[in-house]
Amino acid sequence: MPSDFPSPDARHPIRLADDTPHMGTVFLRAVIDHPRWQVGDYSYASSETPPEDWAHRLAPYLYAFSPERLVIGRFCQIADGVQFLTASANHRSDGFSTYPFAVFHRRFEGAASLPVAGPDTVIGHDVWIGAGARILPGARLGSGVIVGAGAVVGGEVAPYSVVIGNPGRLLRPRFAPEVIARLLEIAWWNWPIEAICAQEAAICNADLDALEQAARAVAASDPAQ
């Protein structure tokens, strides 16, 4: 691994000018210890007021006993104030009342006021979620999605889409369909970190030809790719 790139196990991967850690940014894999979370390497979250419990700050209704999961891919970027409202936050809305009686009388088995188990919330790779956004229960965000600040997003969002507003709506795709297909085939986020860093310019400057050439080299050096 490059000596200047932090390990995915680093709690505070950003160093300030005086070499002290920036306490408001964490690699999530290093700070999340929760049975219903699944988070990939190098995905980070930032907060102006860093919490003791990042799992609760980001997904306050995802409990250890929840049936659903929150799945976040690699290299995701989660800004200050983002919340994932997972399925355990839901109330029944198909009856005469949405009131969760069982939460108060605590007779949960077969309780009519509880909704059925909801779906997982799944975030792809290299997804940027802007400040204050809300991700609704069961949302599925494809790789490369950008969620605008303050957006409220549910349902399925196609890879490399830009979504804004409340309710969230597609602003535009980031690239042409054929480019998106090639990027998903390349899947650079699965490469070794050394190869990713070596191709920083190709990735960030949208040099697709160089990226495809690098992908062939990575595949040749690692048959598992």
Residues annotated as catalytic are 91
Run of H or E including 140 = strand 140-141
Pick the closest to residue 130 from 171, 82, 95, 64 (CA basis): 82
The total of other beta-carbon atoms located within 10 Å of residue 33's CB is 9
**CA separation for the pair 145, 159 (Å, rounded):** 6
Task: Give, to the nearest 10 degrees, the angle between helix 177-186 and helix 208-221.
Answer: 20
C-alpha separations of 16 from 33, 146, 160 in Å: 26, 27, 31
Report the sign of the C-alpha dihedral through residues 123, 52, 26, 37, in that order: negative
**CA separation for the pair 26, 123 (Å, rounded):** 18
DSSP letter for 70, please. Answer: E
